[in-house]
Structure formats: C-alpha cells, structure tokens
C-alpha cells in the first residue's frame, strides 16, 4: 500500500476519485454526518457508483463500497477492477484517506477471488490517497473455508 499526493495520480485514477466524490451527494448519513462515496471501474471500463445509506437501526447501515460493488456486479458481467472511496463531512472533502471497514474488505476480497481479477483500491482524501493494488493486502488471513466449499 502506497500513499500518493493526489496530483501524482494518473488521470484515470483522478477521474474515478472525482466520481466517488460526486457520489457523496447521494449519501444518506443523518446520524454520522459522514458522507461516503465510492466508484467502481469494471474491467470493461464501465463505472458504477454508490454511497453510504444509514438507518435508525444502526446495524442496517450499508457502506458506500458495498452499495457500489453489489450494484456493479448485478448490472454488469465484467469484473470490478478499481474501486475509489472518499468522503465529505461538515467541513467538506475530508483531508485524510478514507479506508474501508472490515466487512467491506471481506466483500472486496471475495469479489477478487470470485472473478480472478485483482481489485485495486484507491482510498482518497482531499490531498492524499492510499493505493492498494490487491484486496488481499487489506485483509491478510481472511476467513476461507475449503470445507465449506466442499459441503
Ligand atoms: N462508511 C462507509 O460508507 N465506508 C467506509 O469506508 C467507512 C464508513 C460509512 C458507514 C457509516 O454510514 C458512516 O460511514 C460512519 O461510519
């Protein structure tokens, strides 16, 4: 995982981060006031976005990354190739990179294993972005049961 200044990123990555930033506008976050947006570029180039959707029953809240990823794979036969995530709060675009929660890491990893294609993850803030080239890196030692697969 490497941290870059945003201006060091290539144009495709900058564009995906802008789409994630735009997606924060559809966030529903009346409880945390933390508006997260995610954008997924598929292997065929198509881009899907999502945002966090909260609920008064807190465990029912869904993160932006999962909204975007699950929407993407239900509307495309291509594989997720790069996911960008970022957020805004009451002060605007957050300066620190936004990193996915454990549950989203588990979903990202299974997407990668399911499609056999590495998923790059761009964790963006206003000034700096953490870039991870492979979802395995975000969840070392993830749950994996070959016995479960055989039953
Ligand atoms: N959240 C996301 O959508 N993605 C992340 O990577 C971090 C957390 C959401 C969940 C909740 O709606 C709010 O941000 C505060 O935790």
Tokens of 99: 């990193």
Which pLDDT score, from 0 to 100, does residue 59 have? 97
> According to the model, what pLDDT value does residue 6 have?
97
Of 81, 101, 91, 16, nearest to 50 (Cα)? 16
Which residues, in sequence order, are CB contacts of 111 under 8 Å at separation 6+? 69, 73, 79, 80, 119, 135
Q: What is the pTM of this model?
A: 0.96
5 as an active site residue: the answer is no
Q: Whose CA is nearest to atom 4 of ligand 1?
A: 63
Model confidence at 145, pLDDT cuts 50, 70, 90, reads confident
- The confidence score (pLDDT) of residue 109 equals 97
pLDDT in tens, 31-90: 999 999 999 999 999 999 999 999 999 999 999 999 999 999 999 999 999 999 999 999
Per-residue pLDDT, 26: 98
* pLDDT score recorded for residue 151: 57
Domains and CATH numbers, the chain: 2-149 (3.40.140.10)
For 85-132, write each residue's pLDDT tens digit: 999 999 999 999 999 999 999 999 999 999 999 999 999 999 999 999
Q: 21: buried, middle or exposed (CB in 10 Å: 19+, 13-18, 0-12)?
A: buried
Q: Looking up tokens 């499609």, which residue turns up? A: 115
Selected residue with higher pLDDT from 118 and 147? 118
Atom of ligand 1 nearest to the CA of 54: 12
| Mutation test residue for ligand 1: of 24, 32, 135, the one with most atoms within 8 Å of CB | 32
Q: Give, for ligand 1, the residue of 24, 50, 63, 122 to mutate: max count of ligand atoms closer than 8 Å to Cβ.
A: 63
> Which H or E run includes 85?
strand 80-89
- Residue 129's contacts (CB-CB under 8 Å, 6 or more residues apart) are 3, 4, 6, 9, 13, 17, 97, 122, 123
pLDDT at 150: 67
pLDDT the model gives residue 107: 97
């Amino acid at each position: 995982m490497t941290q870059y200044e945003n201006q060091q990123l290539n144009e495709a990555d900058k564009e995906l981060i802008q789409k994630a930033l735009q997606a924060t506008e559809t966030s529903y976050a009346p409880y945390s006031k933390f508006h997260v947006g995610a954008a997924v570029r598929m292997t065929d180039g198509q881009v899907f976005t999502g945002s966090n959707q909260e609920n008064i029953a807190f465990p029912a809240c869904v993160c932006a990354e999962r909204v975007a990823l699950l929407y993407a794979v239900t509307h495309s036969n291509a594989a997720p190739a790069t996911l960008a995530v970022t957020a805004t709060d009451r002060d605007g675009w957050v300066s620190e990179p936004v990193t996915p929660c454990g549950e989203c890491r588990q979903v990202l990893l299974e997407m990668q294993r399911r499609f056999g294609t590495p998923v790059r993850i761009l964790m963006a803030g206003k000034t700096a972005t953490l870039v991870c080239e492979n979802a395995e890196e975000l969840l070392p030692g993830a749950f994996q049961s070959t016995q479960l697969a055989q039953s």
